[in-house]
Amino acid sequence: MSKTFNQERLLQVLVAPQISEKATYIADKNEQVVFIVTPDATKPEVKAAVEMLFKVEVKSVQMANLKGKVKRSGRTVGRRSDIRKAFVCLKPGQEINFAEGGAA
């Protein structure tokens, strides 16, 4: 399936892994890994990118759009940018270890 996507595009789809208490809990409980992705990323693109970069098998991908919060600094009102997250469910026995910088 990754043959249909442009390899340069797949390298740009994943922005960063989401490393937080909630993401760690999700990883342990559901065997999912959370990534911040580009706003126009699709589920098949994310699946292909994770399989290509980390050499693991992906079972499914769920996406979530987070709206940026409105923040004030004195009189000026600003807004944080919107974020799109991908919850990548790995097949049993698969694991991504970010401490080692690659697939485990």
- What's the pLDDT tens digit per position in 25-40? 988 888 889 999 999 9
Whether residue 55 contacts residue 103, with contact meaning beta carbons closer than 8 Å, is answered with yes
Helix, strand or coil, per DSSP, at residue 45: helix
* Whether pLDDT at 69 is above 90: yes
Any domain includes 67: yes
More confident residue, 91 or 97: 91
104: confidence class by pLDDT, cuts 50, 70, 90: very low
E strand spans, 1-104: 14-17, 32-37, 58-66, 70-73, 76-79, 83-90, 96-97, 102-103
Q: pTM for the whole thing? A: 0.79
CA–CA distance from 34 to each of 28, 69, 74, 90 (Å)?
Answer: 12, 20, 34, 11
The Cα–Cα gap between 87 and 43 comes to 10
* Whether pLDDT at 95 is above 50: yes
Q: Residue 28 is part of a domain; what is its CATH number?
A: 3.30.70.330
In the chain, how many domains are there?
1
Any domain includes 52: yes
Any domain includes 99: no
